[in-house]
Each structure stands twice: as structure tokens, then as C-alpha cells.
Chain A
Amino acid sequence: AQSVAQPEDQVNVAEGNPLTVKCTYSVSGNPYLFWYVQYPNRGLQFLLKYITGDNLVKGSYGFEAEFNKSQTSFHLKKPSALVSDSALYFCAVSLPGSGNTGKLIFGQGTTLQVKP
């Protein structure tokens, strides 16, 4: 079965330190990969995507993610965390061949807590 896994329910980092939120996937073919963020009492916001090309992709708010095909991973990173980055983060994959309908499969979410 095709799936996305976020192995950590919560990640805690100190402000100013680098952060990593992990994501692995199990999909046949070449998937399209995404990160979304959800701030309290808000809908999800698109952060970044990997479709093809460079393995390191840059997105909103200084976030980046690294695609690793051999490890089937797409970890979210930021060099220096801010308290305002505290939120719930979702990794998602779009299945190859899903065409324009673009159905997304989401991971279970990781809560990022950045402490001052």
C-alpha cells in the first residue's frame, strides 16, 4: 500500500538551532512530494514541493527539504528555528499517474515546538 510516514509525533528545538522534521514514503514510481504547515486554528498552508530536478528544494519562511530517492525520504529542514515556526507539519505525496486531480496522501503530522 502507498503511504507516507512521519516517525516523530513531536520535535522540540531551541530557537536559533537547526531543525529537521522527518518524512519517509512508500510509493511505486516517482512521486511528487510536499510539505504543508498548520498553525493553530488555521487551515493548512503549502510550504514547498519536489517534482523533479534538484534534490534540495526551497520553500516559504526559510524552509527547505531534501529529497533522497535511495532512502525514500523527504525531510524538512531550517537552518535557524524561530518560535513562530511552532506548528503542525504534514508531509504529503501525490501518486504518479493521478494526473490533474492530484490526490494527496498525507502523513500523520509532526508537532514542532520551538522554545525561546
Chain B
Amino acid sequence: DIVMTQTPLSSPVTLGQPASISCRSSQSLVHSDGNTYLSWLQQRPGQPPRLLIYKVSDRFSGVPDRFTGSGAGTDFTLKISRVEAEDVGVYYCMQATQFPWAFGQGTKVEIK
């Protein structure tokens, strides 16, 4: 099974400053169809998760452009260019390249 490891697990950030979250998979996430099924989700307190980024770097509809996904193979990154108060929450990476699908442990983004 593929294991997803996120770092850091907690990220205190000053408003207006950037934040970066790393996600590493135990195996390559390149699917036999050539796609890489790595997504990023945000979960605000008390809310269900929300899709931010899919297929590594495609921003989902309505997601602000301050969120950027990048990476390849086994190493992926989510960057928030300038953190806003509404960005507080837990961020998860998820792989859907191989069953069983798997989430990372989550990274809590909070304001300093």
C-alpha cells in the first residue's frame, strides 16, 4: 500500500506570509495512464473537506490563485503565497493512483 507522509504537521504562519506543505509518497504516483493522481484538500474547523488542487497542480473551480500545487513522482508541495485568515484549517494530500487510496496525516495551518 502507498503511504503518504506530510511535513510539517503544524505550520504557524503570519498573515500575509507564505506557507508551504510537503507531501511524500512511498511509491511513485504516476499512473499507468500517465496521470499523477495527487490532490490537496482543505478542511476548515467544523466543515467537511474541500478540494483545492487535483492532478498535482490543477486548481479546482473557485479556489483562489494564492494556492499552488507542484511536484512529481513521489514529492509534492502545496504553497499558499499569502496566508489569509480564512486559510486556517487542516490540509491533506491524497493519492488516488493505486488502491487503497490514501490521505496524508494532515497539516494544521494556524495564524501566529
A, B bound: no
- Residues in chain B within 8 A of chain A (CB atoms): none
